[in-house]
């Protein structure tokens, strides 16, 4: 199965840099208004909204959490805490470790991309990491 997701963005450059630099997606095609990023099994499209629409959205620094959307993309990563500095550097933010939860054999912790979209990071492998509580997953390899 192959899945694709479209995220409408105001600032293509910072958003592309975030998803490539933090989550390892690869740019396979891009132009001035769109970037197609891929990883195994799925594709993420970043599409710039028209200026008139962007003006109605507004932007804040740091970005305001867009918690009212009914969708939350989930990205599997090797080590959640290892990404904290990179996420901050690229304009996003990672929730504090105590807000994470263990569910379905993985630790899950929310983050914000540079425009405030909520994403979830998933760190799997119960056999390797034991119970996957915050004190056992912060320094995973």
Enumerate the domain spans of the chain: 3-137
Cβ–Cβ < 8 Å for 38, 44? yes
Dihedral sign from CA coordinates of 10, 13, 14, 16: positive
CATH level 3 topology of 3-137 = 2,3-Dihydroxybiphenyl 1,2-Dioxygenase; domain 1 (3.10.180)
Q: How far apart are the first and last CA of the chain?
A: 29
Rounded CA-CA distance 85/30 in Å is: 27
Cα–Cα dist 32/67, whole Å: 28
* Predicted model pTM: 0.84
**Mean pLDDT value across residues 36-59:** 87
What is the C-alpha to C-alpha distance for residues 37 and 25, in angstroms, rounded to an integer? 6
15: pLDDT strictly greater than 60 = yes
Tokens at 111, concatenated: 């983050």
pLDDT in tens, 118-135: 999 999 865 455 544 555
Tell me the pLDDT tens digit for each residue of 65-117: 888 888 999 999 999 999 999 999 999 999 999 999 988 889 999 999 999 99
Residue 137 has pLDDT above 80, yes or no: no
DSSP 98: G
Quick one: pLDDT at residue 126?
52
Q: Residue 141: its pLDDT value, please?
A: 35
- What SS3 class is residue 100? coil
């Amino acid at each position: 199965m192959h899945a694709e997701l479209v995220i409408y963005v105001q600032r293509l450059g910072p958003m592309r840099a975030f998803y490539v630099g933090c989550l390892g997606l690869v740019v396979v095609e891009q132009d001035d208004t769109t970037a197609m990023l891929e990883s195994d099994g799925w594709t993420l499209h970043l599409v710039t909204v028209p200026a008139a629409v962007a003006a109605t959205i507004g932007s804040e620094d740091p970005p305001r959490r867009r918690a009212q959307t009914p969708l939350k993309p989930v990205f599997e990563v090797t080590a959640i805490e290892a990404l904290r500095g990179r996420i901050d550097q690229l304009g996003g933010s990672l929730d504090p470790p105590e807000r994470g939860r263990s569910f379905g054999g993985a630790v899950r912790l929310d983050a914000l991309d540079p425009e405030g979209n909520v994403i979830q990071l998933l760190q799997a492998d119960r056999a390797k990491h034991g119970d996957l509580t915050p004190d056992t997953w912060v320094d995973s390899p």
